[in-house]
Amino acid sequence: MKFSYGRVRKKGIAYTRIQWQRDGVRKEKYFPIPPNTKGVPQSAKNFVKAMEQELAEHGYAGNIAPKDRADAITALEYLKEKDVKMSLFEAVKVAVEVQGKNVPVLSEALEKFMTVKNSEGHTPKHLRGLERTVGLFVALKCSYETEFGKREIIFAEKRPSEITTDDVNYFLRGLKNQGLSQWSIQTHLRDLTTFFTWCHESQEWCRRNPAIHAAKQNTKGGKIHIFTPEQAALLLHSCDESIVAAVVVQMFCTTRHAEVKNLKWKAIDLEQKVLTIDSDIAKTKTRRVMSIPDNAVRILKKCKNREGQVLPKNFIRLFDEAKIEAGFFPTNKAVRKLKGKKLVKWPNNVLRHSAISYTLAKNGDIFKTATSAGNSPAIVQEHYLQLVKPAEVETFFAITA
């Protein structure tokens, strides 16, 4: 065993640093250098001497056959390639423990995972997202270079314990090359983390979660687009009467579009001026009660049909027509080709972003706004604070249909 010496300073104190390798893992130890001492302190020398004596008395390297020694070196390199943070002995111990278990390959693990998630009562949208993300990952076939040479892998045939952080990052890079936004990639990573957390914690099919340390996408500082009062008014006035209510509760009430798709009129109390998002349709599975601004109450009272679903079945088509009238690209690509009008890109999630931003500017309460929106106070503060000028708040909440 070879020891190397170095001299470092930490917080103004001089130390002698001793480094060595054991089982392929670099280790180090620090010894403070007494004042007026030159060279290596005696405490460091004593430590090295004790280590060498222990190795001489209890070491086993001399008794290992050449083939076993070569296998041990190959195993250590394999652990490093897989980014497994454990000694060779720990890895062998885990392998022996796992050998008797019936650990499925990824394709089988996905089936079991979705069976469990379906039984837990998640929303169909959430389940589709999980199955889509993990399904894309499982379907991968790839090869890429590592410091140990080319790595070829068919993910569907691998067990959860064989997947590395590099494999997850390869998957994320592929999504980025396809042109997905940082937000979308982060959603895929979140779903993949959920899957491997289940494999690791619930099933014990892998030693650790390979998605935990995957490259996080930089979504912080992403620009939030909101409507000006004039843009909001133009869009609302462009809407067909049958979709006005669905647009209003998104534009003024901090709801999510997925929640409004399942929202019924009985959840809107125009006398008490409150809207209730029950836990069965809420993204966070938590019931929320939010205030309806006075202008929104007046608009909703004018709606003729106030029974059943708030969002009509033909909402997308009618809303696309309203977007075009207001100067925005519609959702339907076929419609885009039929219109020669000069249009601008529809800002992502702009109705909800506008509702949260103007509501926060109006009440000045981050925690109240976060509760209403079903977000954390940290998210509301980071993304929505001070986006609206005080003079615009009154104009926005004076909009009528």
Show pLDDT as tens, one digit a residue, over the chain (401 residues).
678 888 888 877 888 989 887 656 678 888 888 888 778 888 888 888 887 776 666 554 544 555 676 777 778 877 777 677 778 877 777 666 655 467 899 999 999 999 999 999 888 888 999 999 999 999 987 665 555 556 567 888 888 988 888 888 888 988 888 888 888 888 999 999 999 999 999 988 887 898 987 866 544 545 789 999 999 999 999 999 999 999 999 999 999 999 999 999 999 999 999 999 999 999 888 899 999 999 999 999 999 999 999 999 999 999 999 999 999 988 876 666 655 668 888 998 999 999 999 999 999 999 999 999 998 888 888 889 888 999 999 999 999 97
pLDDT of 62 reads 46
- pLDDT for 218 equals 47
Contacts of 351 (CB under 8 A, 6+ apart): 227, 247, 250, 251, 257
Sheet with 274-277: list strands edge to edge: 268-269, 274-277, 288-291
CATH 1.10.443.10 in the chain: give the residue spans.
229-396
- CB atoms closer than 10 angstroms to residue 207: 17
> In this predicted structure, what is the pLDDT of residue 101?
61
Q: What is residue 40's predicted lDDT score, i.e. its pLDDT?
A: 87
Q: What is the largest CA-CA distance in the chain?
A: 92
Q: How many CA atoms lie within 13 A of 23 on its CB side?
A: 12
Give the pLDDT of residue 219.
45
Residues of the chain with CATH 1.10.150: 106-202
Predicted confidence (pLDDT) per residue in 283-296, tens digit: 888 899 999 999 99
Per residue, the 3-state secondary structure of 251-262, as one string, reads HHCCCCHHHHCC
On whether the CB atoms of residues 108 and 195 are closer than 8 A, the answer is no
> Which fold would CATH assign to domain 229-396?
hpI Integrase; Chain A (1.10.443)
- Are 188 and 138 contacting, i.e. CB atoms less than 8 angstroms apart? no
pLDDT of 48 = 85
> Quick one: pLDDT at residue 77?
79
- pLDDT value, residue 64: 57
314 in Cβ contact with 293 (< 8 Å): no
Pick the CATH number of 106-202 from 2.20.180, 1.10.150, 1.10.530, 3.40.50: 1.10.150
